[in-house]
C-alpha cells in the first residue's frame, strides 16, 4: 500500500500524524493501532511529586528541558486551572484513587509522617490503633478497573499507609512496585529517619539504581507483559521531592540524615533541574514502549503533580507554595493525550481537580462505581473531548498538620482562604480572574461574598465528615 492510501486509512480510523510516527507507518504498525481501537483504551497516569506550576517548558520554564511532557501537551490538552486535591501528597493520592474528597476517609488530610507518624489529632488517633492509611473498603479505581477486565499496576510512590493491610496489591493492583512512604534516598531507599522503603506486592525487596529509573523499568516491563490486554498503569514518581539527588549523584553510603539535601525548600538548582529532566526522559521511555507495541493510538496518557511546588520550585505566576491553600500550594500542571479523542494542541481553562481525572478514567474504561460510592469529581476529559466551554465549579480544600489548618473554597472565580496556627486566624478573599497571583485581598471590600463562601465551606465540611 502506498503512503497516500495509508494516510487515508489512518484518517478513516481516527488516527493522526501526531499519534503515528513515520517509522510506524513504514513498518505497518498503523494497522495494529487501528485494530487496537476495537478494545478498551489503555490508561497511563503519571504523577510527579512537588512539581511547581511553572516548572515545565509548556508552562513557561526555559531552563528545564521537558520535551516529552511538552509533547503530551502539544498532542493533547494542557490545563491552566487544574488543582491538586490537597497541598500535600497523601491527601491528593487518596482523592485520586477513591475519586472522592480525601476527607471522607479520615486521617489523610496531611502527608503521613516518615516512619508512620500521624501529624494531627485524627491521624494520631488512627495511628494508635494501626489504622492510619487508605482502607481497602474505600474501593479504589484500580479495583474498579480490575473488575472491568483491566490489568493494573503501580510503579512508584505509595504513601497511603505503612501497615501491611494498606498495601497497594490489596487495592486492586495486580502488580505493585513501590516506595512505601514519602521522600527517600533515590539510591539507598531510606528516609530521614532511616526507614527502609522499597516493596513489591507487599514484601520488602532489594534493588540497585536510581529510583526514577527503577519505577520506569517496572512500568515498561508491565506494558511489555500486558500489551495484548487493556491495562491501567499508575506511575507516581518521587521526583522532584527531596532529598535532592540527580541520576548521576550516586554515593556508596546513604545520604546522611542531617544532610541539607533533605531540606525541601533549598534544592541546588542544577540538581533540581536534573531530577525533572530525568523524569521527563523516563516518561519518554514509557511512551516509546507504547509506540513499539502499537498501543499509542489507543492509550490515554495523563500527567500531573500531587501538590504545588516547594520553595525549590517555580510556581510563577502563583503565590506561596506547598503546604498552603494559596494557588502556589494547590494549582499544578496537568496535560493529557488521547489520539483521536482529545484534539491536539487544546488548552482548557476549566477549573478542575485531581479526582476529576478519576471520574474520566472510570468512564473511559467502562468500569462501574460501586453502589453508595458516588464520585465527587466530574468527567473533565469528556468536557475536552466534546469541546464544551468551561463550567463554573465550586472546589474545596482543607489540610491539617499539628495545630495548623489551611482551608479554601473556590466558587467561580472567587476564592476564600481561612488559615490558623492554633493561635491566630487569617482570612482572605481573591478574584482569580483578575488576580491569579492573589496579591489584592478583597475581604474588606466584599464582606458579603466572603460570608457566602465561608458558609459554603462550612456546609461542605459537614457533608464530607468521615465516620472512621
The CA distances from residue 197 to 102, 175, 191, 193, 305, in Å, are 24, 17, 8, 11, 21
Candidates 290, 190, 204, 288; CA nearest to 238 is 190
Place of cell 501497615: 163
pLDDT tens-digit series, residues 374-413: 999 999 999 999 999 999 999 999 999 999 999 999 999 9
Phi/psi for 422 (5° steps) reads 95, -20
pLDDT category at 315 given cuts 50, 70, 90 is: very high
Place of cell 496556627: 421
- Output the pLDDT for position 13: 35
Q: Which residues on adjacent β-strands are paired with residue 176?
A: 154
Q: Give the Cα separation of 1 and 10 in Å (integer).
A: 12
* Domain 42-391, CATH number (from 3.50.50.60, 3.40.720.10, 3.30.470.20, 1.20.1250.20): 3.40.720.10
pLDDT tens-digit series, residues 267-286: 999 999 999 999 999 999 99
Q: Which range among 20-29, 181-190, 232-241, 359-368 shows the weakest confidence by mean pLDDT?
A: 20-29
Give residue limits of the domains in the chain: 42-391
Once rounded to an integer, what is the mean pLDDT over residues 441-459? 98
- Output the pLDDT for position 192: 84
Return the C-alpha cell found at 107: 486521617
Candidates 307, 322, 318, 325; CA nearest to 263 is 322
Residue 1 has pLDDT above 50, yes or no: no
Per the prediction, the chain carries an average pLDDT of 92
pLDDT category at 184 given cuts 50, 70, 90 is: very high
Query: How many CB atoms sit inside 10 A of residue 433's CB?
Result: 9
- Output the pLDDT for position 370: 95
- Output the pLDDT for position 467: 83
DSSP conformation class of 112: P
pLDDT category at 38 given cuts 50, 70, 90 is: low
pLDDT tens-digit series, residues 99-143: 999 999 999 999 999 999 999 999 999 999 999 999 999 999 999
Spell 62-74 as b/e; 16+ CB within 10 A means b. eebebebbbbbbb
Residue 8 has pLDDT above 80, yes or no: no
> Active-site residues: which are they?
89, 159
Once rounded to an integer, what is the mean pLDDT over residues 41-45? 98
Amino acid at each position: 500500500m502506498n503512503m497516500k492510501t495509508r494516510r487515508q486509512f489512518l484518517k478513516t480510523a481516527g488516527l493522526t500524524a501526531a499519534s503515528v510516527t513515520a517509522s510506524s507507518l513504514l513498518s505497518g504498525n498503523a494497522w495494529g493501532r487501528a485494530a487496537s481501537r476495537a478494545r478498551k483504551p489503555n490508561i497511563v497516569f503519571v504523577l510527579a511529586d512537588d512539581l511547581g506550576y511553572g516548572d515545565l517548558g509548556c508552562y513557561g520554564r526555559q531552563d528545564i528541558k521537558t520535551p516529552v511532557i511538552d509533547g503530551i501537551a502539544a498532542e493533547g490538552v494542557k490545563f491552566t486551572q487544574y488543582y491538586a486535591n490537597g497541598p500535600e501528597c497523601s491527601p491528593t493520592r487518596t482523592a485520586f484513587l477513591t475519586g472522592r474528597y480525601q476527607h471522607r476517609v479520615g486521617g489523610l488530610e496531611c502527608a503521613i509522617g516518615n516512619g508512620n507518624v500521624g501529624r494531627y489529632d485524627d491521624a494520631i488517633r488512627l495511628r494508635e490503633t494501626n489504622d492510619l492509611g487508605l482502607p481497602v473498603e474505600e474501593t479504589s479505581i484500580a479495583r474498579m478497573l480490575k473488575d472491568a477486565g483491566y490489568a493494573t499496576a503501580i510503579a512508584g510512590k505509595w504513601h497511603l499507609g505503612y501497615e501491611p493491610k494498606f498495601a497497594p496489591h490489596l487495592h486492586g493492583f495486580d502488580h505493585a512496585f513501590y516506595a512505601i512512604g514519602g521522600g527517600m534516598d533515590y539510591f539507598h531507599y531510606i528516609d530521614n529517619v532511616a526507614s527502609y522503603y522499597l516493596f513489591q506486592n507487599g514484601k520488602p525487596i532489594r534493588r540497585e539504581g536510581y529510583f526514577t529509573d527503577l519505577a520506569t523499568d517496572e512500568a515498561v516491563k508491565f506494558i511489555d507483559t500486558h500489551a495484548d490486554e487493556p491495562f491501567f498503569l499508575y506511575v507516581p514518581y518521587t521526583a522532584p521531592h527531596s532529598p535532592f539527588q540527580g541520576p548521576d549523584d550516586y554515593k556508596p553510603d546513604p545520604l546522611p540524615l542531617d544532610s541539607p539535601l533533605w531540606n525541601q525548600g533549598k534544592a541546588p538548582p542544577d540538581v533540581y533541574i536534573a531530577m525533572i529532566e530525568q523524569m521527563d526522559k523516563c516518561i519518554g521511555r514509557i511512551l516509546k514502549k507504547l509506540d513499539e507495541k502499537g498501543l499509542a493510538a489507543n492509550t490515554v496518557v495523563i500527567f500531573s503533580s500531587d501538590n504545588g511546588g516547594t520553595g525549590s520550585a517555580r510556581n510563577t505566576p502563583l503565590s506561596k507554595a506547598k503546604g498552603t491553600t494559596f494557588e502556589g500550594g494547590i494549582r499544578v500542571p496537568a496535560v493529557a493525550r488521547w489520539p483521536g479523542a482529545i484534539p491536539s494542541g487544546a488548552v482548557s481553562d476549566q477549573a478542575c481537580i485531581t479526582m476529576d481525572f478519576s471520574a474520566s478514567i472510570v468512564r473511559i474504561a467502562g468500569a462501574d462505581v460501586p453502589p453508595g460510592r458516588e464520585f465527587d469529581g466530574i468527567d473533565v476529559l469528556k468536557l475536552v473531548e466534546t469541546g464544551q466551554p468551561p463550567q463554573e465549579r465550586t472546589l474545596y480544600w482543607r489540610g491539617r498538620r499539628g495545630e495548623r489548618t489551611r482551608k479554601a473554597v473556590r466558587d467561580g472565580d472567587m476564592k476564600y482562604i481561612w488559615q490558623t496556627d492554633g493561635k491566630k486566624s487569617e482570612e482572605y478573599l481573591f478574584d482569580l480572574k483578575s488576580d491569579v497571583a492573589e496579591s489584592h485581598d478583597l475581604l474588606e471590600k466584599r464582606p458579603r461574598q466572603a460570608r457566602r463562601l465561608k458558609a459554603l465551606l462550612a456546609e461542605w465540611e459537614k457533608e464530607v465528615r468521615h465516620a472512621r
